[in-house]
A and B are shown apart, each in its own frame.
Chain A
C-alpha cells in the first residue's frame, strides 16, 4: 500500500514541473501583455518600454521562468500588475470565497445524487426511474450558464428568495453572526444551481453501478441466505456501488479551488473562476500563470487522491 502511494507521488512531481513549464510557455505565447491594452496617447511607448524593462518582460523566457520558479519555491507568485498587490494575497482573498461555494456545492451534489441514484438503480425501468434519468439527460444537455441565468431570474428576481449577486451583503462587519449568515445565504443559490447540473453524472454512475451489481452472483448468494431486501441493498449492493463515486471524490475536491467561471460571473461572486477570466482579459500574467499552475496542481493531486481512495476501497486496483 505505502509502496503504491510513494510510487504514485514520484510520478506526480515531474508532472507538476512539466506543467509549470507548459503554463509558462503558453502564457508567453499569448499575444499582448499587461501593457498592450493601454493604448493611451498619454502613456508613451517609451514609458511602456520602461515598465516592461522593470517588470522583466524583455528578458528571455528561460530567465523569466527561473525567476518565476525561484519565487514560487519561496511561496511568492510575484506581483499582480493590474491589482498592484502580491498575487498570493489576491489568491487568498478569492480562494476563501471559492472554497466555501464549492464545499456547499459538493455537499448539495451528494445530497441530491445519492438518494436519486439509489432509487433509480433499485427501481430501474419503473416510471420513477425514467423520471430520474429524464432529469439527468436534461442536466447533461443544459449549459450551466443558461441554467444559472434561469435560476437567478426565477428565484432571485421573480420570487426574491435569494440575494442575486455578491458573496455577502454590503456593509456588514466581517466576523459578526450577521456576516456569516449573509455569506451562507449568498452561497445557496449559486451552489444549488451548480449542484443540480453537476450531480447528474454522479446519479448516472450510481444508477448503472447498482443495476450492474444487482445481478452479481454474491447478491444472489446473499438473497439465497435469506438476507432481507434492505440488508441486501444497504450492506451488499450499496457498498460495492459507491466505488466509482469514491473514485470521483478526488476530482471533486479539485473543484474546491478552481471554482466556476460561469457561476461566479453571473452571480457576481468574486472567486477564483471569475479572477481567472478577468486576469486573462487584462493580460495580468503573473496572476494567470499562478492560477493555471494552481488549478493544474490541484487536478494532479486530485487524481492522486482518487487513486489512493480507490486503492483503499478496492485492493484489485493497486498497481503491481
Chain B
C-alpha cells in the first residue's frame, strides 16, 4: 500500500514538472546582431509561447496604439533616489564603453547614461540646435559644405576639463587613422582630405579646422541630406586622456573599460564586467543637475525579467521581450508599459539577379524565376500578415505597408495603397498573367507551362520561426503556388546570410529583416551599388529617386519627403521585396518613476537628468 501511494506521489510530481517544463519553454537561443544607429539586421523571429487558441479565448490581442510613449507621472518626485535599470539582452555587455569603439548594442545601453553626442535630434532623427553644441551649415562655392560645431561653454568632461574643439577633432583623427580597428569610418569618409589621411599620406585632415577653443569647422566633399539626419560624427574623444594611448590599444585601455568618462548626466562609479554598472549624478551636467542621486544598471536574463519587475529589482528595462507581455500584463500592476513602433521591419525578398563583384553593382536577370512582377504581387496578396501578427505576436506585430516605416513620421506615407490579404485578387492576377494549372494537380505552372517550384529561405531562431514559415508556404499554396523550404528546413542565421549574400541559385525568395537605423536614405539597402541589396533589384527610376533623395536638393526636407514618397510608391509597384510585419517595442517603467520617455527625441538625446522618483522604494504590485 505504501509503495503504491509513493509511486502516485511520484507521478503527481512528474506531472508538476511537466507543467513547469511547458510553461518555461521559451528558449533563449535567439541570435541577434546589432550595432547602434546604423541600419542593421536582426533575425526575423522572436520566441513566442503557444498562444494560438489561448489568444482567442482571452482575446489577448493588443495594439501598439494603446501604449503611451511618455510615462504618466504619479505624484511629485522626491529629492534624489537611485533608479534601477535592467539591461535585458541576448548578446553580452562587452564593456567597450566608448562611442568610437563599441559594437554591440548592450554597450550602447551602458554608455548612454554617461556620454552623449554633441548634437541633438528630433523625432525624425534630424539635427536640432538643442544639443551640447550648436551647428551651422555653409554651402561653399566649390560644391563642398562646411558644418561648424559650436560647443556650449558649460559643457565639461566628468573630470572637470572643458569639452573642446580639439577633442572633437581628435575623434575624427582616431577614426580616420589607419590604425583604427573599429567600424565607424563611414561617418567621416566624406570629409575633405580624409582619404589621404586614412592612407597615412598626410598628418592632418585638410578639411577640418579649429576655429577657436570651442568651435570646429568640418568640410565635406558634397552636400548630402544624410549629414543633417544624424549622419555627422559629433561625439568628441577626451584628448587629455587618450592622447598618451596608442590607437590600437585604446579599446582595451582602462579609459574605455574601467573608468570611462563622458559629459552626460551621470558619471560612472563602478563597473563589474559583464554584469553591472553604478552611476552617480553629474552635478555639472550642462542641461542642469539630474534629479536622481544615481543609477544602478544590471544585466537581467530574459527568463527572469518579469520577476525582477514584479519585485522591484529593476524599475526600467531597455526593452521587454514582447512575447512575455500577455502573461504579465495583468499581474504587473506596479509598472506602466510604454510602447512604440520599433525601428525594424520583417520582409519577404525576391531574388531578381546577382551581384557583380568586379563592377561593384547588381545585375538583374530578366529570366529569374521571380522576374514577373505579377507573380510577386500575387504572393503579397496571398498572405494575411495581420493574422500572422495576431496569432503569433498577439497583435504586437502587424502587417507592414511601405518600406519606410512609421517611425519616420515625416517620410512614411500611410496613403499609399499596398496589397493586403485578398486571395481572390491573388488568383485573378495569376490567372491573368498566365500562371495556369496545366497538369491539374492543383498547383500552377509558369506561363510556358513548365513546373513552378519556388524555393523559400527562412531563418531559424525562436519558437515561431517554423510555424510562420509554414504558414506562408500554405498561404501561397492556397493561391496555387508550390513553395518549398530550401533544403526542406530553416537555416541558421550565419548560413542564411552567407547564402543569401552569395546569391545561392537554390534561393528564389527569402524572409529577412532590417533595422531601419536613423536615416531614411535607402542607398545602402536598395541602391544599385549596394552589396546589401540582396534581391539584386535595380532600375533607372530607382537609381534616380535614390540619387535625388541623397542630393543637395534634398537638403530641403519637403523636397526629400516628396522623393521618398515616390520611392515608396515605386517599391509597391515593383515589389523587389514586400514588408510583412512592423514591430513594436515595449518598455515597462515602475510607477515611482517620473518623466521617463521612449520617444526618439527624448531617449536618443539622453535626457535622463529629468527623471525622478516619487518614493525611495519601488512600487510593488497590489
Q: Is the Cβ of A141 less than 8 Å from the Cβ of B14?
A: yes
Report how far A265 CA is from B305 CA in the complex, Å.
13
A134 to B: closest C-beta gap in Å: 7
Q: Is the Cβ of A38 less than 8 Å from the Cβ of B40?
A: yes
Report how far A10 CA is from B524 CA in the complex, Å.
57
Q: Is the Cβ of B21 less than 8 Å from the Cβ of A84?
A: no
Which residue from B257, B272, B300 sits with its C-beta under 8 Å from A168? B272
A244 close to chain B: CB less than 8 A: no
Q: Is the Cβ of A171 less than 8 Å from the Cβ of B91?
A: no
B104 close to chain A: CB less than 8 A: yes
The residue in B252, B256, B495 that gathers the most chain A C-beta atoms within 10 A of its C-beta is: B252
Known: A41-B530, A82-B103. A281 touches B183 (CB 8 A): no
Which residue from B20, B276, B303, B307 sits with its C-beta under 8 Å from A166? B276
Q: Is the Cβ of B269 less than 8 Å from the Cβ of A152?
A: no
Interface digits, A241-274 against B, CB 8 Å rule (1 contact, 0 not)? Answer: 0000000000000000000000001111110001
User: Cβ of B35: which chain A residues have Cβ within 8 Å of it?
Assistant: 38, 40, 42-43
**Which residues in window 524-553 of B have CB below 8 A to A?**
524-525, 530-532
Instruction: Give the interface segment out of B93-101, B325-333, B438-446.
Output: B93-101
Report how far A83 CA is from B95 CA in the complex, Å.
7
Q: Is the Cβ of A165 less than 8 Å from the Cβ of B304?
A: yes
A78 close to chain B: CB less than 8 A: no
Interface digits, A278-291 against B, CB 8 Å rule (1 contact, 0 not)? Answer: 11011100000000
User: Cβ of B497: which chain A residues have Cβ within 8 Å of it?
Assistant: 32, 36, 39
User: Cβ of B13: which chain A residues have Cβ within 8 Å of it?
Assistant: 138
Q: Is the Cβ of B6 less than 8 Å from the Cβ of A270?
A: no
Which residue from B91, B276, B307, B311 sits with its C-beta under 8 Å from A170? B276
Q: Is the Cβ of B41 less than 8 Å from the Cβ of A82?
A: no
Report how far A85 CA is from B91 CA in the complex, Å.
17
Q: Is the Cβ of B274 less than 8 Å from the Cβ of A93?
A: yes
Q: Is the Cβ of A170 less than 8 Å from the Cβ of B92?
A: no
User: Cβ of A42: which chain B residues have Cβ within 8 Å of it?
Assistant: 35, 38-39, 183, 186, 517, 524
Report how far A150 CA is from B304 CA in the complex, Å.
11
Q: A34's closest neighbor in chain B, by CB?
A: B103
B68 to A: closest C-beta gap in Å: 27
B273 close to chain A: CB less than 8 A: yes
A215 close to chain B: CB less than 8 A: no
Report how far A168 CA is from B101 CA in the complex, Å.
27
A136 close to chain B: CB less than 8 A: no
A112 close to chain B: CB less than 8 A: no
Known: A43-B183, A43-B186, A283-B494. A268 touches B94 (CB 8 A): no
B283 close to chain A: CB less than 8 A: no
Q: Is the Cβ of B273 less than 8 Å from the Cβ of A32?
A: no
**Which residues in window 21-77 of A have CB below 8 A to B?**
30-32, 36-45, 47, 51, 54
Known: A42-B38, A166-B276. A31 touches B186 (CB 8 A): no
Q: B492's closest neighbor in chain A, by CB?
A: A31
Report how far A142 CA is from B17 CA in the complex, Å.
8
A224 close to chain B: CB less than 8 A: no
Q: B311's closest neighbor in chain A, by CB?
A: A157
B202 close to chain A: CB less than 8 A: no
Question: How many B residues have CB within 8 A of the partner chain?
Answer: 68
Report how far A47 CA is from B185 CA in the complex, Å.
9
A218 close to chain B: CB less than 8 A: no
Known: A157-B311, A173-B270. A265 touches B301 (CB 8 A): yes
Known: A266-B303, A268-B300. A166 touches B92 (CB 8 A): no
A202 close to chain B: CB less than 8 A: no
Q: Is the Cβ of B304 less than 8 Å from the Cβ of A152?
A: yes
Question: How many A residues have CB within 8 A of the partner chain?
Answer: 63
Q: Is the Cβ of B181 less than 8 Å from the Cβ of A170?
A: no
Q: Is the Cβ of B92 less than 8 Å from the Cβ of A38?
A: no
Q: B86's closest neighbor in chain A, by CB?
A: A165
Report how far A265 CA is from B41 CA in the complex, Å.
24
Q: Is the Cβ of A170 less than 8 Å from the Cβ of B277?
A: yes
Report how far A171 CA is from B271 CA in the complex, Å.
8
The residue in B35, B251, B269, B272 that gathers the most chain A C-beta atoms within 10 A of its C-beta is: B272
User: Cβ of A234: which chain B residues have Cβ within 8 Å of it?
Assistant: none
Which residue from B17, B38, B104, B273 sits with its C-beta under 8 Å from A82? B104
Report how far A99 CA is from B333 CA in the complex, Å.
40
B211 to A: closest C-beta gap in Å: 29
Known: A93-B273, A167-B272, A170-B298. A40 touches B38 (CB 8 A): yes
Report how far A130 CA is from B532 CA in the complex, Å.
64
B73 close to chain A: CB less than 8 A: no
Known: A31-B498, A37-B33, A41-B525. A85 touches B41 (CB 8 A): no
Report how far A11 CA is from B581 CA in the complex, Å.
58
**Which residues in window 223-273 of B have CB below 8 A to A?**
251-252, 256-257, 269-270, 272-273
Q: B277's closest neighbor in chain A, by CB?
A: A170
Q: Is the Cβ of A266 less than 8 Å from the Cβ of B301?
A: yes
Q: Is the Cβ of A54 less than 8 Å from the Cβ of B181?
A: yes
Q: Is the Cβ of B278 less than 8 Å from the Cβ of A270?
A: no
Report how far A38 CA is from B35 CA in the complex, Å.
8
Which residue from B28, B186, B252 sits with its C-beta under 8 Å from A84? B252
A164 close to chain B: CB less than 8 A: yes
Q: B96's closest neighbor in chain A, by CB?
A: A84
User: Cβ of B21: which chain A residues have Cβ within 8 Å of it?
Assistant: 143, 146
**Which residues in window 55-99 of B have CB below 8 A to A?**
90-92, 94-96
Q: Is the Cβ of A38 less than 8 Å from the Cβ of B183?
A: yes
A149 close to chain B: CB less than 8 A: yes
User: Cβ of A115: which chain B residues have Cβ within 8 Å of it?
Assistant: none
Report how far A211 CA is from B38 CA in the complex, Å.
66
User: Cβ of A47: which chain B residues have Cβ within 8 Å of it?
Assistant: 183, 185-186
Q: Is the Cβ of A149 less than 8 Å from the Cβ of B303?
A: yes
Q: Is the Cβ of A170 less than 8 Å from the Cβ of B38?
A: no
A161 close to chain B: CB less than 8 A: no
Q: A41's closest neighbor in chain B, by CB?
A: B524
Interface digits, B11-35 against A, CB 8 Å rule (1 contact, 0 not)? Answer: 0011001001100100010010101
Interface digits, B279-319 against A, CB 8 Å rule (1 contact, 0 not)? Answer: 00000000000000000111111011001101101000000
B536 to A: closest C-beta gap in Å: 14
Q: Is the Cβ of B91 less than 8 Å from the Cβ of A278?
A: yes
A296 close to chain B: CB less than 8 A: no
What are 22 A-B interface contacts by the 8 Å CB criterion? A36-B494, A36-B498, A39-B497, A43-B186, A47-B183, A47-B186, A54-B181, A85-B252, A141-B14, A166-B275, A170-B275, A170-B278, A171-B296, A173-B270, A265-B28, A268-B299, A268-B304, A270-B274, A270-B275, A270-B299, A275-B92, A282-B104
Question: Which residues in B have some Cβ–Cβ distance to A below 8 Å?
Answer: 2, 6, 10, 13-14, 17, 20-21, 24, 28, 31, 33, 35, 38-41, 90-92, 94-96, 101, 103-104, 181, 183, 185-186, 251-252, 256-257, 269-270, 272-278, 296-301, 303-304, 307-308, 310-311, 313, 492-495, 497-498, 517, 524-525, 530-532
Closest 6 CB pairs of A and B: A32-B494, A41-B524, A270-B274, A37-B33, A170-B276, A84-B251
